[in-house]
Amino acid sequence: MLELKGIWKNYNPGSVNELCLFRDFSLTVRDGEFVSVVGSNGSGKTSMLNIICGSIDIDQGQILINGEDIVKQKDFLRQRRIGRVYQDPSKGTCPSMTILENMSIADNKGKPYNLGRGVNKAKVEQYRAMLRPLNLNLEDKMGVLVGALSGGQRQALALLMATMTPIDFLILDEHTAALDPKTAEIIMELTDKVVREKGITTIMVTHNLRYAVEYGNRLIMMHEGKVIVDKAGEEKACVETEEIMGIFNRISVECGN
Amino acid sequence: MALLLSVLEQGMIYGILALGVYITYKILDFPDLTVDGSFPFGAALTVRLITLGAPPAVTLPAAFLGGALVGMCTGLIHVKLKVRDLLSGIIMMTGLYTVNLWVAGTGYVAIFNKKTIFDNGAVNAVFPAAMGRFKTVMIIFVITLVAKFLLDWYMNTKSGFLLRAVGDNDTIVTSLGVDKGLVKIVGLSIANGLVSLGGCIYAQQQRSFEISIGTGAVVIGLASVIIGTSLFKKASFLRVTSSVIIGSVLYKGCVALAMFAGIDANAIKLITAVLFLIILIISMDRKKASQSQGQRKGRKAC
């Protein structure tokens, strides 16, 4: 279970650009939930993910994972139990390493990176088997540099790499936003499959309201650092895209967008 | 013949330095000026050890470890004190000038009649007198090869994978639950260890230490890396490490030719700078061409 309790976050404190994003922000994500988060630009969605992952510090508040406060933990330590896929496909992979090397390095997460061989030949077939269901022919390109792959292929690989080892949370930061509609659809279906199969607790930030409604079992809309819509379970299952779109338009108009 | 031997000897010695520069410049994407200090540091440490009567073979690991320590300091300044990469190197390079004078004792130390890795009982017993003139180049060749293979091996370990990843995309290193700062420090240590090893061999080949040998060392290293990597880009049978060493030999060859053609020795630095500029321009053109073909992303500007 992930709990954000009484989070305060000020950007540029003490300057004219001071911006108070979170005032006493709280959110609880229970185990096994697949939460879709929507909201306009600047509503604090990505900041929230960065706060969970430790990429930005908070001024006040608690971040609890299964009751343990991780606020003081360094970002890389927190990410040992978190998998993250970014909007930019190049952030989740190493372009100058091959697919096999990328998968090997991801497979070693949580174990020491010592002077043992980087690639375990015995696992190549296992990696191929993981790539085959993607239907992107990546299983035949194990020796190809990831930099030569398309954005969609890289993102599929990044998703696999993020979920290869046992993790407590999967964080998806607009991970389909940089892809064409068809590829985005493929990646989204793949995400749903991986999350269901492994039962990973997932937080997905998206600008695609349809994805937010179609996938996941909880939907949150954020606005100016607050959760303004929170629907889970039965309630979430009945939500229509139009309804969310309506709320979205209304708050946007209030803001003068 | 003497000229060719000298080019091969110096080319391979600077090839070891270039391996270090390759790690920082190409893999870590870190313009490391520490090299101008760590190269003479290895040389200073070596003449000191040899004048103290240490066995010559000891100088090699000692210089590597000393250089690694220097690189670690650069890394700590950059990572822990958050000083910019270029400035961290400049600070270390400047400070090392004094340290090198302290270690060596003075700005010039000769070790003409001392035992070196090229001239000691064991080596003289192995090589027959007739092969005397090839002795130095063969020993350098073996050391360079060992350094190259060790680096190749390291780059394919789990730790080496992290080093390659951190220069490529440091976000992923954090995602893997590893401190990216630590990986950078390890990379800088290995790089400067190699550079210092180059300085160690250089001092023994020259049979002297001179404080000014560090000036421009980083430029020679960069030129070797860029010549090697851009010239042999298509040669897939060559590992990058081999290309870099060959690049260094070619660079030394060019300089020797210029000297042989009767160019004023005082002009050598200017020639180096111009040569370096030309190499940069040529390799940039190649980069643009390959970019338009969409083969590689050109994040690392040369």
Greater pLDDT, A235 or B250: B250
Q: Is the CB of residue A93 less than 8 Å from the CB of residue B172?
A: yes
Percentage of chain B exceeding pLDDT 70: 94
CB atoms A147 and B296 under 8 Å: yes
Q: How far is CA A91 from CA A157, B18, B48, B181, in A?
A: 11, 29, 47, 17
**DSSP 8-state class, residue B157:** B
pLDDT digits (tens, 9 = 90+) for B72-106: 999 999 999 999 999 999 999 999 999 999 999 99
Question: Can you tell me the distance from the alpha carbon of B93 to that of B203, in angstroms, rounded to the nearest whole number?
Answer: 19
The pLDDT value recorded for residue B194 is: 98
The pLDDT of residue A255 is above 80: no
Assess B161–A contact: CB distance below 8 Å, yes or no: yes
The pLDDT value recorded for residue B259 is: 82
What sign does the dihedral A93-A99-A101-A107 (CA atoms) show? positive
Please identify which residue in the block is written with the tokens 């994500």.
Answer: A29
CB atoms B172 and A95 under 8 Å: no
Q: What is the average per-residue pLDDT within B274-288? A: 72
Question: Can you tell me the distance from the alpha carbon of A146 to that of B296, in angstroms, rounded to the nearest whole number?
Answer: 10
pTM for the whole thing? 0.89
Go through chain A and tell me how many residues it has.
Answer: 257
Assess B212–A contact: CB distance below 8 Å, yes or no: no
Assess A33–B contact: CB distance below 8 Å, yes or no: no
Question: Can you tell me the distance from the alpha carbon of B119 to that of B110, in angstroms, rounded to the nearest whole number?
Answer: 15
Alpha carbons within 13 A on the beta-carbon side of A200: 27
Which residues of chain B make contact with A77, given a CB cutoff of 8 A? 177
The pLDDT value recorded for residue A171 is: 94
For chain A, list the strands marked E by DSSP.
2-11, 19-29, 34-39, 60-65, 68-69, 82-85, 169-173, 201-205, 218-223, 226-232
Q: Which of A203-207, B212-216, B254-258 has the lowest mean pLDDT?
A: B254-258
CB atoms B177 and A110 under 8 Å: yes
The pLDDT value recorded for residue A4 is: 92
Which residues of chain B make contact with A84, given a CB cutoff of 8 A? 175
At B121, the pLDDT band (50, 70, 90 cuts) reads confident
The pLDDT of residue A212 is above 70: yes
DSSP B5-48: HHHHHHHHHHHHHHHHHIIIIIIS----TTHHHHHHHHHHHHHH
At B47, the pLDDT band (50, 70, 90 cuts) reads very high
Average pLDDT, chain A: 90
Assess A92–B contact: CB distance below 8 Å, yes or no: yes
The pLDDT value recorded for residue B302 is: 37
CB atoms B169 and A84 under 8 Å: no
* B210, β-bridge pairs: B108
The pLDDT value recorded for residue A254 is: 67
CB atoms A76 and B154 under 8 Å: no
Question: Can you tell me the distance from the alpha carbon of A62 to that of A26, in angstroms, rounded to the nearest whole number?
Answer: 9
What sign does the dihedral B85-B146-A95-A199 (CA atoms) show? negative
Residue A6: left (phi > 0), alpha (psi -120 to 50), or beta? left
Question: Chain B neighbours among A 45-84 (CB < 8 Å)?
Answer: 74-77, 79-80, 83-84
CB count within 10 Å of CB B207 equals 16
Nearest CB to B174; choose among A76, A114, A118: A76
pLDDT digits (tens, 9 = 90+) for B11-29: 999 999 999 999 999 999 9
Percentage of chain A exceeding pLDDT 90: 62
CB atoms B171 and A76 under 8 Å: no
The pLDDT of residue A55 is above 70: yes
Which residues of chain A make contact with B179, given a CB cutoff of 8 A? 74, 76
* Residue pairs between chains A and B whose CB atoms are closer than 8 Å: 86
> What is the nearest CA distance from A196 to chain B, expressed in angstroms?
22
The pLDDT value recorded for residue A134 is: 86
Question: Can you tell me the distance from the alpha carbon of B279 to that of B254, in angstroms, rounded to the nearest whole number?
Answer: 12
Please identify which residue in the block is written with the tokens 């010695």.
Answer: B13
Q: What is the average per-residue pLDDT within B219-234? A: 88
Assess B187–A contact: CB distance below 8 Å, yes or no: no
Assess B156–A contact: CB distance below 8 Å, yes or no: yes
Which residue does chain B place closest to A75, by CA atoms?
Answer: B174
Assess B291–A contact: CB distance below 8 Å, yes or no: no
> What is the nearest CA distance from A82 to chain B, expressed in angstroms?
8
pLDDT digits (tens, 9 = 90+) for A221-244: 998 888 988 988 888 888 888 888
Q: What is the average per-residue pLDDT within A112-122? A: 92
For chain B, list the strands marked E by DSSP.
108-110, 208-210
CB count within 10 Å of CB B172 equals 27
Assess B37–A contact: CB distance below 8 Å, yes or no: no
**DSSP 8-state class, residue A133:** G
Greater pLDDT, B287 or A4: A4
A60 Cβ contact list (under 8 Å, min separation 6): A6, A7, A8
Q: Domains along chain A?
A: 2-254 (3.40.50.300)
Which residues of chain A make contact with B157, given a CB cutoff of 8 A? 114-118
Nearest CB to A114; choose among B158, B165, B296: B158
CB atoms B175 and A96 under 8 Å: no
The pLDDT of residue B292 is above 60: no
**DSSP 8-state class, residue A155:** H
For residue B176, what are its two tokens? 């893997």
Q: What share of chain B is helix, strand, coil (3-state, %, to 5)?
A: 75, 5, 20
Helix A124-131 with A151-163: angle, nearest 10 deg = 120
Which residue does chain B place closest to A106, by CA atoms?
Answer: B176
Average pLDDT, chain B: 89
CB atoms B168 and A86 under 8 Å: no
ipTM of model: 0.88
Query: What is residue B301's three-state secondary structure?
Result: coil
